[in-house]
Chains A and B, each alone.
Chain A
Amino acid sequence: MNIRHAKTFLFGALALSFLVSLGANYFNSYWLFISYDIGINIILAVSLNLINGYTGQFSLGHAGFMAVGAYTAAVITNQFGELNTFLSGTVFLGALLAGGVLAAVAGLLVGIPTLRLRGDYLAIVTLGFGEIIRVVLQNMNAVGGARGLSVMHGWTNFFWAFSFAAVTVYVVTALVHSTYGRGFIAVRDDEVTASAMGINPTKYKVTAFVIGAFFAGIAGGLYAHSKQFLTPGGFGFMQSISFVVMVILGGMGNTIGVIIAAVLLTLLPEFLRPVAEYRMIIYSLLLIVLMLTRPQGLFSFKKSPAK
């Protein structure tokens, strides 16, 4: 997706999500809820793609940032009673952004010390941070601890989910195509060469991490107001893995592929319901076979440059 397409896409998607949300009452509510999941997963996968795909930093802690955003937004909106449409929209937007900002701060705190590390180490440290966030939430009685937190308002709708998805796609695409953003790809392709060219790899990695965490936080807020119940266990290691799988399946650094993968992998469990017991076995087999046969992702057709 190039930058001009991205702008058209942004406005098109915003208009479309607004129109669809006007007619939301005519849709089957089951599929409507799944469509929110699709929007939320697009945000998570595309933002993770900035970190994993474009900057080449393997992060396994995306669900942790999502948890920060979800709990922040939920605690904020729980302070309000019933509101009219306009006010609720404003409060919701504020809560989502607050969740995003707090997740970004968490991303900064995680990123600065850990992004000096490479590959495997980074993966395990981000995984560790995700787990620490989960354990801390489990011990915070103010947000219900292990019992979970009820979210009073079900404010997430088609418009919110998909306009934020569109914004995420736009921001990530515009960023990696900007002069500044070329640095992300340079860091991914060869860190040593990039730093020899005057690019500060740590700065780029932290930037990617913070932006990715911000959008994960927003997705968390949307998730909280769609499911209306949060438990720390819902933001574990497995969740992070599922976002990584979306990025891998779509092809690292391929935004359109990642969007398709996010949609498919959100729908897949619905279609596998009849064989629910084998669902995760199929899923993990798929992952292994994919890595053995098409490590560049299902939807990447460009040949990777010869090393």
Chain B
Amino acid sequence: MSEFFQQLINGFAFGSILALIALGYTMVYGILRFINFAHGDVFMLGAFAGFYLAPKVATVFPIPSITGGLAVMAISMAICAAIGIVIEKLAYRPLRKRPKLTVLITAIGVSLLIEYTCQNSHVFGASPKSFPTLIPAYPIKLGALSLNSNQLVVLGVTLALLAALRFIVLKTKIGMAMRALAFNPEAAALMGINTDVVISFTFGLGSALAAAAGILFAVNYPSIDPLMGILPGLKAFVAAVLGGIGNLPGAALGGIIIGVTETFVAGYISSTYRDAIAFGILILILLIKPSGLLGKKEIEKV
């Protein structure tokens, strides 16, 4: 039984990282109706930003420590938010009125560009780097359960970020503009909402969450490389579809479900099949309920 809870907690930790990435996919999809393929790479850039920031931040705050870890995360989130906004401005904005396929291929191109530029030996290099210890890790004994304090940090930070996101989307003016844009972009523009600003903000917000996920991922699995974003990115997209794409609580729920399922399959059945699980779930959900668990059914009008 204790192994079951152990796996459950591992699954929750991994799932909440996926949930943070999935939120970015789902927000962008909700507003622009396209999959930002480069989102997984922003996640990777977040982890690398943390890697290079850690020694600099260490001159101000002690590292490893909670304050130091949070400072690194905050700066990395700011950097990635800027990167996300720039990507949108340069690559996606000129294509906004073009067919979706064109934008999708551009997004794949941006993703490849980031991955290969970062693999270049003058940038990050292709070989994995070991991520510094940002937050002191303590083993915690709870009866027969042995936890790692990092897993609790992941869960705590995720919850805090989800609460912050909920506040932004539901209680602020820009959040209301985001919801209006997702509901009907043309009507929103006619109501005097500056759609460009809102879209930039959405990209920034999503990228910041991805950066936070990158740092949390690297804290838990401290080996980072330029291709580390591909699989978590795809799995997070699956999570967003599972929860109902465009739906924020759905993305979080989907992330947790995928993370827990994958951890259980890896723990109890076979770890070599773990990467196929997310796609298996995706196919099942699209067969049974294509609008996702919490999504609304969309009717196409001619």
Contact = CB atoms under 8 A, between A and B. Distances in A.
B18 interface: no
Contacts of B273: 135, 139
B175 interface: no
Given A125-B282, A241-B112, A291 B272 contact: no
Contacts of A125: 282-283, 286
Contacts of B101: 58, 119
A47 to B, nearest CB: 18
Contact of B100 (A113, A119, A127, A248): A119
B276 interface: yes
A269 to B, nearest CB: 13
B298 to A, nearest CB: 11
A124 B302 contact: no
Interface in A239-256: 241, 244, 248
A128 to B, nearest CB: 3
A120 B104 contact: yes
Is chain A's interface secondary structure helix, strand, loop, or mixed overall?
helix
A217 B177 CA distance: 49
Contacts of B120: 277-278, 281
Contacts of B105: 244, 248, 287, 291
Contacts of A128: 234, 238, 278-279, 282-283
Interface in A101-122: 113-114, 116-117, 119-121
B109 interface: yes
A132 B272 contact: no
A237 B94 CA distance: 27
A1 interface: no
A138 B272 contact: yes
A288 interface: yes
Contact of A135 (B91, B119, B121, B276): B276
Nearest to B113: A284
Contacts of A33: none
B286 A123 contact: no
Which of B95, B98, B121, B276 has the largest count of A CB atoms less than 10 A from its CB?
A: B276
Interface in B119-169: 119-121
Contact of A277 (B121, B238, B276): B121
B254 to A, nearest CB: 14
B276 A288 contact: no
Contacts of A292: 91, 94-95, 106
Contacts of B112: 241, 280, 283-284, 287
B34 A117 contact: no
Interface size class of B (residues with CB under 8 A): 35 or more
Interface in B79-125: 91, 94-95, 98-102, 104-106, 108-110, 112-113, 116-117, 119-121
B43 interface: no
Interface string B261-302: 000000000101101101110110011001000000000101
B94 A288 contact: no
B183 to A, nearest CB: 20
Is chain B's interface secondary structure helix, strand, loop, or mixed overall?
helix
A121 to B, nearest CB: 7
Contacts of A113: 283, 286-287
Nearest to A133: B276
Given A139-B273, A244-B105, A287-B108, A124 B113 contact: no
Contacts of B180: none
A124 B283 contact: no
Given A119-B104, A287-B108, A129 B279 contact: yes
B10 to A, nearest CB: 21
Contact of A132 (B102, B110, B280): B280
A233 interface: no
Contact of B286 (A117, A192, A283, A291): A117
A120 B270 CA distance: 30
Interface in A135-177: 135-136, 138-139
A164 B98 CA distance: 36
Nearest to A120: B35
B250 to A, nearest CB: 15
Nearest to B278: A128
A281 B287 CA distance: 37
B51 interface: no
Interface of B: 33-35, 91, 94-95, 98-102, 104-106, 108-110, 112-113, 116-117, 119-121, 230, 234, 237-238, 241, 270, 272-273, 275-276, 278-280, 282-283, 286-287, 290, 300, 302
14 contacts: A120-B33, A124-B35, A129-B283, A132-B276, A132-B279, A135-B272, A139-B272, A192-B300, A277-B121, A281-B117, A287-B112, A291-B106, A292-B91, A292-B106
Given A128-B238, A287-B112, 18 more contacts: A113-B286, A119-B104, A120-B33, A123-B35, A124-B241, A129-B279, A132-B279, A138-B272, A241-B112, A244-B105, A277-B121, A281-B120, A284-B109, A287-B106, A288-B106, A288-B113, A291-B95, A291-B102
Give the 5 A-B residue pairs with the shortest CB-CB distance, closest first.
A128-B279, A287-B109, A284-B112, A280-B116, A284-B113
